[in-house]
Amino acid sequence: MPPFRRKKSGKSFPVKVCTLDAELEFNLEWKATGKDLFDLVCRTIGLRETWYFGLQYEDSKGFISWLKLDKKVQDQSLSPPSGSNGGCVFMFLAKFCAEDVAEELVQEVTQHLFFLQVKQAILSMDIYCPPEASVLLASYAVQAKYGDYDESISNKPGMLSSGDLLPQRVIDQYQMTPEMWEDRIRIWYADHRGMSRDEAEMEYLKIAQDLDMYGVNYFPIRNKKDTDLWLGVTAVGLNIYEKENKLAPRTTFTWSEIRNISFDEKKFVIKPMDKSSPNFIFFSQKLRMNKLILNLCVGNHDLFMWRRKPDSMEVQQMKQQAKEEKQRRQIERNKLAREKQLREAAERERNAMEQRLLQYQEEIRLANEALRHSEETADLLAEKSRAAEEEALILSHKASEAEQEVTRVRLNAMKTEEEKAYLERKTREAELLTQRLVEESEKRALESDQLKTELLKARIAEKQAKEKLLEFLSRNTLSSDSTNSLSQQQPACINDYALLLSDDINALDIDDSKSSSLKSSSLLFERDINSYEMLEDSEVEQLSLEIEKEREDYLEKSKHLQKQLKELRSEIEVLKVSEKQCSLDNVHAEQVRLGETKYSTLRKVKCGSTKARVAFFEEL
């Protein structure tokens, strides 16, 4: 129960408390103290690590102040009511920073409030952040806001608007479009898959705490030489900066070296532990500023000493509860991750099935087209088949006629063969007869010559040879008659033979013409068959086409963060607008060139005794 329960006779007033992600409205009793309001806010938001936070407000003179917890709210020079409820407005902010956020910030709500405040300080350029680190921090901020990278959502134009992710100084210093910044943020955003919101916010804080201006409250001061300097109040001590350089301190004093802090009017006196060392003295611009400096110094010193003591029972209990809560959330995350994996696997399987369905539909479409082509081809082939059948009928008719003709020719040929054999036989007989007649004629010619010779002799012996001569003459007359009959028969036989031979040749010519007709018909039919086979091959080739599968794209993760930052720095260096570089950019570039970091600079300025550092400060 709140310690300030409203009574019927008591008065109350409205107040409005704003955190960086919420607004709270309360009615406070008129006598309520700052602690009453602070505790009420902490209970409302569930915050137990209260020592880092405070309530900030604008006082009646327009200065920023922190609400004192031990005084009544109404007694602290509040500005006139300006809230929507007509009440006073307070900002619930982290007043002190942790040395190591990973070790000290226990509750998730504490981490979240720190994250929101540091992010706002970077975007409002209260904390200097290099361009490459700004992109990396933006990727963690996106992971904390949207969760795991989803290509279908995160690739939408304007989804990762650089306006609320990057400092305006960084955007103005480079000739890059918002889309170019989004692409670079998206590359690192995709690497953070599986990281929860609190883990992403913690990674953001781990990187942010390495920035030079993180956790530093700057106040303008002067030393005894009237040199304008900056005093930086931090969680580990006091830093002194030159007026144009808020990044690299010129000297530093840790809280363990400081024994006492006090101020008189605008003069601020810090007594070191080393009694041989002179006091550290500087001058502020306003008395009210000295009060704020002292308040921050006391609070940071107390936290510095408190961190170096064993944890109290409350802190131990808080850490144990936070550990158990983290384990419980981790178990839940693992369970959700398994369910997500199963869901993604089912989604992938569903997508694969849809792809297969689309593939099958495409194959069915191709098969239907192939079937349609096949049907058209079948119709064409059917017509060709009908034409071929008709042609085959004609050819078969012609073939039957040709067979009949061949049969007739064969019969004629058989008759011709018999006549030919008869003529050959007659010819051989005639040849033999002719040969004999020739021989006989020659013989008779020879005998005639002999007879002519002997005729003269025979006349003398005419009487004696008359009987023989008559006998010879009678025989010669008989031979002459037979020869004349044979010579008349021979030309007739030859003419008959020539006639038969001519008939055979004509018959063969007819046979050849029919044979050529058969061959031409056969070639025509064979050509039709070949064209069908070629068409059939093209259909098979069309149905054998395969669909290629899409390959899964994956993003290769970098092994070293600094290498990524260096690569990004080199990549955007060519797009830098030199005219828009500020003094802090030049200081940071020089630190990068020398290889200096926040911690190496602090180690260097800590060197030497306290006395020597005080003397160095006086000479600035």
Q: Under 8 Å CB-to-CB from 525, ≥6 apart: which residues?
A: 388, 391, 392, 395
Spatial contact of 521 and 391, defined as CB atoms under 8 Å apart = yes
Residues 59 and 68: beta-carbon distance below 8 Å: no
298-244-94-168 Cα dihedral, nearest 10 degrees: 180
CA distances from 596 to 375, 411, 587 (A): 81, 123, 11
- The DSSP letter of residue 85 is T
CA-CA-CA-CA dihedral for 428, 433, 434, 437, to nearest 10: 170
Element (H, E) at 69: none
Give every CB contact of residue 370 below 8 A, 6+ residues apart in sequence.
539, 542, 543
CA atoms within 13 A on the CB side of 273: 7
CA-based diameter of the chain, in Å?
216
Q: How far apart are CA 243 and CA 146, in angstroms?
A: 40
247 assigned binding-site residue? no
Which helix (DSSP H) or strand (DSSP E) does residue 267 occupy?
strand 267-272
Residues 543 and 366 sit within 8 Å (Cβ to Cβ): yes
How many CA atoms lie less than 13 Å away from 151 in the CB half-sphere? 4
Which amino acid type is present at position 529?
I
Q: Give the neighbor-by-neighbor strand order of the sheet with 12-18.
A: 23-29, 12-18, 88-94, 53-58, 64-66
Helix 197-208 with 131-146: angle, nearest 10 deg: 160
- The answer on whether 238 is annotated among ligand-binding residues is no
Burial of 607: CB neighbours in 10 Å, binned 0-12, 13-18, 19+: exposed
Stretch (H or E) spanning 394:
helix 313-460
Phi, psi of 286 (to 5 degrees): -140, 150
Contacts of 187 (CB under 8 A, 6+ apart): 139, 555
Cα distances (Å, whole numbers) of residue 280 to 296, 389, 523? 17, 122, 120
Give dist(CA 153, CA 148) in Å, integer.
11
71 labeled binding residue: yes
Long-range contacts for 468-474 (Cβ within 8 Å, ≥24 apart)? Answer: none
CA distance 156 to 408: 94
**280-284 and 217-222 strand pairing:** antiparallel
Residues annotated as binding site?
68-71, 291
